[in-house]
Structure 1
Amino acid sequence: MTITSGPESSLDVSTDPNVTEKPQPEFTLRAIIPGLLIGCLLCFTNLYFGLQTGWISMMSLQSALLGYLLSLAPGFPKLPKFTAQENVILQTVAVATGTMPLAAGFVGIIPALGLLNVEEDGQGPLILGFWQGIGWASAVAFFGVFLAAPLRKQVIIKENLPFPSGTATAQLISVMHNETPPSLRHRHPRSQPQSGEYTALSADDPERLPPSTQPSAEEAEEADALLSRSELKRSASEGWRALAWSFLASAVLTLGAYFLPVLFFIPVFDIFYSGLASDWLWWFSPSLSYVGIIMGFPITLSMNLGMLTGWAILSPLAHYQGWAPGPVGDMQTGSRGWILWVSLSIMCAESVVSLLPVVWEAILLLLPHRQKPAEDEDEERLVPTKWWAWGLGLTALLGVGGVWAVFRDEGGKIWAVAVGFLMGGVLSVLGVRALGETDLNPVSGLGKISQLLFAVLQPGNVVANIIAGGVAEAGAQQAGDLMQDLKTGHLLHTAPRAQLYSQLLGSLLSIFVTVGAYDLYKRAYPIPGPSFPAPTAYVWLSLARLLRDGSLPPKSGVFMLASAGLAIAVASVKVYAQRRGYSWAKWVPSGVAFAIGFLNTPSFSIARLIGGIIEYMYYRRVGKGHEGIWLIIVASGFVLGEGTMSVLTLVFKTLGIGAVTCWGCQGGICPSC
């Protein structure tokens, strides 16, 4: 089936009222196949970084950029012209394929189950085989997709929530395809924006544009001719070179670090105090992919503030006070495991505060005086009500059956699993609204709320508790990803039905890619282990154990309460500032980013800060229009270079090809030994 875009999607409208524009293709093979290929690469990349740091990226900007560059490559079908709508479909497929490692819990939930032991949990480790992994991923991969369709009309059409990443992706695509920027498209003529409306930024003036500006024919023509054909070819050629060089630099450095680990574990801080690298895990990793160029300067500041608090203050304090007497890097007896509890309290507190206004708005929507939103798409381009209704019902039934088939009664009674899916649906709605307003999908916090509920429904069952959190996380992740994509599609007039097909197709392929990739990593490395610590696995397991027996490491409870109180105060200020539209809201520390600084070793946060500074300085000098694309290209090359090379080093590891020398390995971490 081919989904086509309607007549509103083109800027070249015939002046003859009796002539209608020929619909442009959207859901096409030349959009789907590159999207799947890019998504597979992103899937490996996200699994690699997720197991290392607990942090993955939606990568919608990178997917759209790569798709556009591929469309200009020799051999790509040129007729008809590759459209912006096809690029939306391409990035929707890629995102669905690339984010499954988080949605299906392979960077947290599944490694956590492997950490179980009989003494503490009453249950030995649960190591899923390949087909068990397929069963689990299939059970949770589609439920959240059908949750997004009924929410679209409310949060995108009526309330017009910002969904900043989705809007930024639409802006990037409009710039690359030389179409009128989304900020100039007024699908519903009106003089003033509605409450909560977000106006996308202009390609030429990314900072301000009057929301009531109406484009003239000349402006539309000018926007459609931003670059001449020769300039377009030259820009594409330069873009490929920038991507190739950044990819090559990151790949060579990654491969070199595999054979010479000291390249990624440079003990630069030992000049201040001997042993900071080996004993306290303070080293510098010049990984180009860790440089968070696209993450944003304010977020990297929050992350480093958390890193300094956790690793420079609390970690030495816990160790020297005897509260965590083991080796610093030990998650059970060392200070890394001790500060994990403080991180957990911050995450939970931030999640609760950030969700409270979302819950209030959701309650208000149930009031009878609320006007139903009017749809702006043709009926044949929408997802029919019976589709998403049947989809929700069938995926919930298959999900409950699939989870029970994989884990049986170890994962909880079948009725409790059903309650878990119901809870996941409710929490996903909250996650979508939070994502739309703040660009942050609090999937981890939503999963922990589900864990709290299951501490009552299935007391003492650690496995059921973790799985319940995983179901909620999966639903929120999938619904949020598709909603961001639907925002992009709405701004660029892409059929929601075509995007639903894209999400389902990408998710289906990614089940096998994610499970296969995880199985390869598991065969080559211990997970969690020195090379892939899977820090979020300990967060899931620690909360489940706390809810089971209430035991905490010495003195950690006092610090958890204090940090939770501070997190609530800071999060309240941030939420208030965001909802009032204050520009300084972005500089209020993010609790989630702050907590991530606790989970990962300092090298991760330091590299991210360097990238944040580079991004801040670059955009101050050149802005975020056409020139801003180059930063995205270079950052994409860095991430994809290391992610791709990780597959090769995985093959080396499997074949027994190791490092030339293990000199420089720090804290027991050596990727090739």
Structure 2
Amino acid sequence: MPRRMACSQRGASSGKNDGRGSDQRLVTSSTSSVGPSGGLMSPTGWDSHDGDDKINYTVDETAAGERSIGSRDDELLDITRPFPDLPAQPDEPARFTIRAVVVGTVLGAVVSASNMYLCLKTGWTFGASLFGAILGFAILKPTSNFLPKFLGGGYFGPRENVAVQSVATGAGRLSVLFEGAIPALYRLGLLSPTPKEDFWRLITFTAVCAFYGCFFGVALRKFYIIRLKGIFPTPTATAVTIRSLHAAGLAGDAMRKAKVLVSTFAASCVFKAISIYAPGVLWDWNIAWWIYKTTRWKSIIAASNRGWYIELTPAFFGVGMLTGLNVGLSYLAGAIVSWGIIGPATDHTGLTVGSPSKGTPDIISYKSLDLEDPFNKPSARYFLLWPGLMILMCATFTEVAMNGPALYKGLKLLVADNMKRLPTSQHFARAKDRADAFLLREDHEDDDPAPQHERVPRWMWASGVTLVIVCTCLVLGLQYDMNVGLSVLAVVLGFLFSCIATQSAASADIAPASYCGKASQLVFGGVTSPGHYSLHDKQLINLVGGIVATGAAAQSTDMVSDLRTGYLLGASHRAQFYGQIIGSFVAVWLSVGLFLLFTSAYPCILDASITDCSFSTPALGAWVAVAQAISLSSLPIPSVSGYLAIAFGVLAIFVVYARYKLVPARWQKFIPNLSVFGLAFMVPTTQYAIAMAAGAMVTCVWSWKFKASYGRNGYAVPAGLIAGEGIGGLIAALLEITNVGGSTYGSAVGCVGDTYCG
């Protein structure tokens, strides 16, 4: 008799999977639904199922040790092979349609705008796959029943639903390039004074980064999905969700889930747009300032100066609901340690300095990164930046290293698989055969089940890769003065990090795209260390090379993840490929346009001298810090900050190692998430940590007391809150540019220093 247990995200990503095609099956039913997934909301460039958040399916362990994953019912699905069709499911001859492209593009645009807003705020991004799948179903399923065919009517099935979410993913993900890497070019003065002057330069550069993923992803599909049988937990959850929605049709939970998502989206959007006219009352509750203004109690103002206040942000309340209690409390713990303990201690001992307000000297800012002497007189934000960055990098790369055996075997087999095509590669062929025997064991059914007409021909993706490489060399050479050797190195690193990120996503649901960019920065720092490069050239090459690696890793992982969803549902991966191409084309123009919009409405994003800013841009600080540390002759790191960084880095490595090797599985959910713990050091305010912790606690109670309701709406509510605030923030930026926003007509009531705080 199988033993059933709840499948937590940490269980899905504990690193025990070695990449082999073990017997793994998904138990589900036509009425089940998949709940929240940790990989949907993550620090930019770092997607992970970490914490105690649950997917609404269970793991079966038989007496023989075989592993099955599923919900509480009777249908058994093998998640290493395509799912069988639903009962009475008609054929879908048209799986790539105009309606799928239009709806997917619109949904991707919503996600892109939300991500641009969120990642500039705190460095978090919102996955487009489940959002696109659910809303795509909600829009096209009912309209397909009553509209004539020439207006988009006709049968809408799960495979076309995959095409919708593929377009949405392609259109919604490129904001990862603008969360810190590209703004860092302007913060360091390496490009024109304003992004508007570099519009076409940004377009061409974003384009070459965008299309890497489309072509690299297709090239990696057969290896990671079919041969290696990677699990990809989040795409698997998306496939189950799509199957469940179409099994239920327009009845019951399927449409109710969509209605809840749309309702919360609309409410969140309207609330954010209205709040800019009274931010001190509707948005920011700075209780410490209110007490100080009433009583003139000087000690209480210290809490306000350190960024301790409540923000009624639907998005980050929703983030906490999605990521779960472990991530939410880890983020809050990081804020307490950094801005509640270390920050005040460094100020008290004179290690850091603040900037008093001219009108009210008791109001002191510790957020500045525009410092005359960062080594001797750093701000608390600059001081905490280095420990936070060290924690992030050590935790992420240790996580990848703990999955090293699967990564090594996968890359070794990938090399052998390609070397076998050479006439003099018998040694590699034997190595490949041995790897096949180890990885696939007795399962040799690794042939592509897709019919020939649904596959992407080799000439198509190979010519695409070649074209992108040529265009990359031209763009980097003509616009950024990088020679051919450096351009080729950027391409090679991009492909290498694409493989690493995809392997990590396949085995552990971790895609460290942004940190692949940091590793690329280190490589280019070594290459440009000879003295004939100027400081300007070193920093420019460093950042541009890192951006190429980040874009390639992020887009490739998204493409392969989408192809995994399509593989399970029997969708045409040629249709998905076309969808990703179209989505990426739209994303290039959309992401650059959104970046120009936000930086025009909020100049403080790129200007470090403006200390009071609605966007804290923690990722920007990290990119700038790495570029400066590598390119300058001496590291501008305060001594005590450096010692703390080393200590916290060692702690991060030990904690991640202990979670994998020392801590029993049942206790792993209590191990803090060091990546978000470190992120809190880099965000100079704490309201997001408070909101996330509150959202996580609400979800904990909700899932415990009202399991059925949580199973139906556990994803829809937070997804609507997150996307809604993102679009509301976009509306607010448009209002600012047209001079009818809060800065013109808003009230400063409740704001610190009686200065408008929207």
Fold conserved between structures, TM > 0.5: yes
Please give the per-residue CA displacement for 1:213-233, whole angstroms capped at 9, x wherever unaligned: xxxxxxxxxxxxxx4x6xx34
Q: Report whether the alignment pairs 1:630 with 2:704.
A: no
- Overall identity of the aligned pairs, in %: 27
Tell me how far apart the structure 1 counterparts of residues 91 and 170 of structure 2 sit (CA, whole Å).
Answer: 30
Question: How much has 1:145 moved relative to structure 2?
Answer: 2.1
Tell me how far apart the structure 1 counterparts of residues 756 and 222 of structure 2 sit (CA, whole Å).
Answer: 50
Alignment partner of 1:252 out of 270, 280, 283 = 270
Q: Which residue of 2 aligns with 1:370?
A: 435
Please give the per-residue CA displacement for 1:383-403, whole angstroms capped at 9, x wherever unaligned: 223333222222122122223
Letter in 2 for 1:396: I
Q: Which residue of 2 aligns with 1:113?
A: 185
Tell me how far apart the structure 1 counterparts of residues 449 and 706 of structure 2 sit (CA, whole Å).
Answer: 36
Letter in 2 for 1:86: E
Structure 1 492/280 Cα, relative in aligned 2: closer, same or farther at 3 Å?
same
Question: How much has 1:619 moved relative to structure 2?
Answer: 2.6
Question: Do the aligned partners of 2:245 and 2:254 also contact (CA within 8 Å) in 1?
Answer: no
Please give the per-residue CA displacement for 1:177-196, whole angstroms capped at 9, x wherever unaligned: 11xxxxxxxxxxxxxxxxxx
Alignment partner of 1:403 out of 471, 476, 479 = 476
Question: How much has 1:469 moved relative to structure 2?
Answer: 1.2
Structure 1 433/637 Cα, relative in aligned 2: closer, same or farther at 3 Å?
same
Question: Do the aligned partners of 1:175 and 1:626 also contact (CA within 8 Å) in 2?
Answer: no
Question: How much has 1:276 moved relative to structure 2?
Answer: 4.0
Question: How much has 1:436 moved relative to structure 2?
Answer: 1.9
Question: How much has 1:505 moved relative to structure 2?
Answer: 0.9
Q: Report whether the alignment pairs 1:434 with 2:504.
A: yes
Judge which range, 258-267 or 244-253, deviates more: 244-253
Question: How much has 1:567 moved relative to structure 2?
Answer: 0.7
Q: Which residue of 2 aligns with 1:275?
A: 301
Q: How does 1:70-149 map to 2 (within 5 A)?
A: 70-74=139-143, 79-102=153-176, 105-117=177-189, 127=195, 129-149=198-218
Tell me how far apart the structure 1 counterparts of residues 255 and 461 of structure 2 sit (CA, whole Å).
Answer: 43
Q: Which residue of 2 aligns with 1:498?
A: 575
Question: Do the aligned partners of 2:213 and 2:558 also contact (CA within 8 Å) in 1?
Answer: no
The secondary structure found in structure 1 opposite 2:366 is: coil
Judge which range, 313-322 or 440-449, deviates more: 313-322
Q: Which residue of 1 aligns with 2:675?
A: 592
Question: How much has 1:48 moved relative to structure 2?
Answer: 1.0
Question: Do the aligned partners of 2:406 and 2:507 also contact (CA within 8 Å) in 1?
Answer: no
Question: How much has 1:155 moved relative to structure 2?
Answer: 2.4
Report how many aligned residue pairs link the two structures: 598
Question: Do the aligned partners of 1:431 and 1:441 also contact (CA within 8 Å) in 2?
Answer: yes
The secondary structure found in structure 2 opposite 1:300 is: helix
Q: Which residue of 2 aligns with 1:662?
A: 748
Question: Do the aligned partners of 1:100 and 1:514 also contact (CA within 8 Å) in 2?
Answer: yes
Please give the per-residue CA displacement for 1:352-385, whole angstroms capped at 9, x wherever unaligned: 3122244443433424311284322223222223
Q: Which residue of 1 aligns with 2:316?
A: 290
The secondary structure found in structure 1 opposite 2:381 is: helix
Structure 1 533/539 Cα, relative in aligned 2: closer, same or farther at 3 Å?
same
Tell me how far apart the structure 1 counterparts of residues 577 and 754 of structure 2 sit (CA, whole Å).
Answer: 45
Judge which range, 425-434 or 358-367, deviates more: 358-367
Q: Which residue of 1 aligns with 2:688?
A: 604
Tell me how far apart the structure 2 counterparts of residues 24 and 487 of structure 1 sit (CA, whole Å).
Answer: 20
Please give the per-residue CA displacement for 1:239-265, whole angstroms capped at 9, x wherever unaligned: 454234322331232123200111222
Tell me how far apart the structure 1 counterparts of residues 393 and 468 of structure 2 sit (CA, whole Å).
Answer: 29
The secondary structure found in structure 2 opposite 1:383 is: coil
Tell me how far apart the structure 1 counterparts of residues 107 and 496 of structure 2 sit (CA, whole Å).
Answer: 32
Tell me how far apart the structure 1 counterparts of residues 334 and 459 of structure 2 sit (CA, whole Å).
Answer: 47
Q: Which residue of 2 aligns with 1:265?
A: 284
Q: Report whether the alignment pairs 1:330 with 2:368.
A: yes
Alignment partner of 2:260 out of 242, 255, 272 = 242
Letter in 2 for 1:322: G
Q: Which residue of 2 aligns with 1:11?
A: 86
Structure 1 656/50 Cα, relative in aligned 2: closer, same or farther at 3 Å?
same
Structure 1 47/353 Cα, relative in aligned 2: closer, same or farther at 3 Å?
same
Judge which range, 565-574 or 149-158, deviates more: 149-158
Question: Do the aligned partners of 1:135 and 1:406 also contact (CA within 8 Å) in 2?
Answer: no
Question: Do the aligned partners of 1:278 and 1:667 also contact (CA within 8 Å) in 2?
Answer: no
Question: Do the aligned partners of 1:116 and 1:125 also contact (CA within 8 Å) in 2?
Answer: no
Structure 1 363/434 Cα, relative in aligned 2: closer, same or farther at 3 Å?
closer
Q: How does 1:497-516 map to 2 (within 5 A)?
A: 497-516=574-593
Question: How much has 1:443 moved relative to structure 2?
Answer: 1.3
Question: How much has 1:457 moved relative to structure 2?
Answer: 0.8
Please give the per-residue CA displacement for 1:167-206, whole angstroms capped at 9, x wherever unaligned: 111121111111xxxxxxxxxxxxxxxxxxxxxxxxxxxx
Tell me how far apart the structure 2 counterparts of residues 126 and 559 of structure 1 sit (CA, whole Å).
Answer: 36
Question: How much has 1:43 moved relative to structure 2?
Answer: 1.0
Q: Which residue of 2 aligns with 1:304?
A: 332
Alignment partner of 1:421 out of 482, 491, 503 = 491
Question: Do the aligned partners of 1:358 and 1:430 also contact (CA within 8 Å) in 2?
Answer: no
Q: Report whether the alignment pairs 1:613 with 2:697.
A: yes
Question: Do the aligned partners of 1:346 and 1:567 also contact (CA within 8 Å) in 2?
Answer: yes
Question: Do the aligned partners of 2:83 and 2:569 also contact (CA within 8 Å) in 1?
Answer: no
Tell me how far apart the structure 2 counterparts of residues 126 and 648 of structure 1 sit (CA, whole Å).
Answer: 22
Q: How does 1:331-350 map to 2 (within 5 A)?
A: 331=369, 332=371, 333-350=378-395
Tell me how far apart the structure 2 counterparts of residues 164 and 639 of structure 1 sit (CA, whole Å).
Answer: 22
Tell me how far apart the structure 2 counterparts of residues 177 and 441 of structure 1 sit (CA, whole Å).
Answer: 29
The secondary structure found in structure 2 opposite 1:289 is: helix
Letter in 2 for 1:274: I
Question: How much has 1:622 moved relative to structure 2?
Answer: 4.5
The secondary structure found in structure 2 opposite 1:336 is: helix
Question: Do the aligned partners of 2:403 and 2:508 also contact (CA within 8 Å) in 1?
Answer: no
The secondary structure found in structure 2 opposite 1:56 is: strand
Q: Which residue of 2 aligns with 1:641?
A: 724
Question: Do the aligned partners of 1:247 and 1:640 also contact (CA within 8 Å) in 2?
Answer: yes
Question: Do the aligned partners of 2:265 and 2:720 also contact (CA within 8 Å) in 1?
Answer: yes
Q: Greater strand share, 1 or 2? A: 2
Tell me how far apart the structure 2 counterparts of residues 169 and 99 of structure 1 sit (CA, whole Å).
Answer: 17
Please give the per-residue CA displacement for 1:474-509, whole angstroms capped at 9, x wherever unaligned: 111001111221221122111222111111110001
Q: Which residue of 1 aligns with 2:34?
A: none
Q: Which residue of 2 aligns with 1:156?
A: 225
Letter in 1 for 2:601: A
Question: Do the aligned partners of 1:116 and 1:124 also contact (CA within 8 Å) in 2?
Answer: no
Tell me how far apart the structure 1 counterparts of residues 467 and 405 of structure 2 sit (CA, whole Å).
Answer: 30
State TM-score, norm by structure 2: 0.74
Tell me how far apart the structure 1 counterparts of residues 192 and 259 of structure 2 sit (CA, whole Å).
Answer: 51
Q: Report whether the alignment pairs 1:317 with 2:345.
A: yes
Q: Which residue of 2 aligns with 1:65?
A: 134
Q: Which residue of 2 aligns with 1:202?
A: none
Structure 1 8/64 Cα, relative in aligned 2: closer, same or farther at 3 Å?
closer
Question: Do the aligned partners of 1:354 and 1:571 also contact (CA within 8 Å) in 2?
Answer: yes
Question: Do the aligned partners of 2:732 and 2:741 also contact (CA within 8 Å) in 1?
Answer: no
Alignment partner of 1:383 out of 440, 453, 456 = 456
Tell me how far apart the structure 2 counterparts of residues 357 and 484 of structure 1 sit (CA, whole Å).
Answer: 21
Judge which range, 356-365 or 636-645, deviates more: 356-365
Tell me how far apart the structure 2 counterparts of residues 250 and 375 of structure 1 sit (CA, whole Å).
Answer: 44
The secondary structure found in structure 1 opposite 2:285 is: coil
State TM-score, norm by structure 1: 0.83
Question: How much has 1:237 moved relative to structure 2?
Answer: 5.6
Question: Do the aligned partners of 2:170 and 2:580 also contact (CA within 8 Å) in 1?
Answer: yes
Tell me how far apart the structure 2 counterparts of residues 39 and 338 of structure 1 sit (CA, whole Å).
Answer: 37
Unaligned 5+ segments in structure 2 are: 1-80, 292-296, 355-364, 372-377, 413-430, 441-445, 530-534
Letter in 2 for 1:288: P
Judge which range, 641-650 or 151-160, deviates more: 151-160
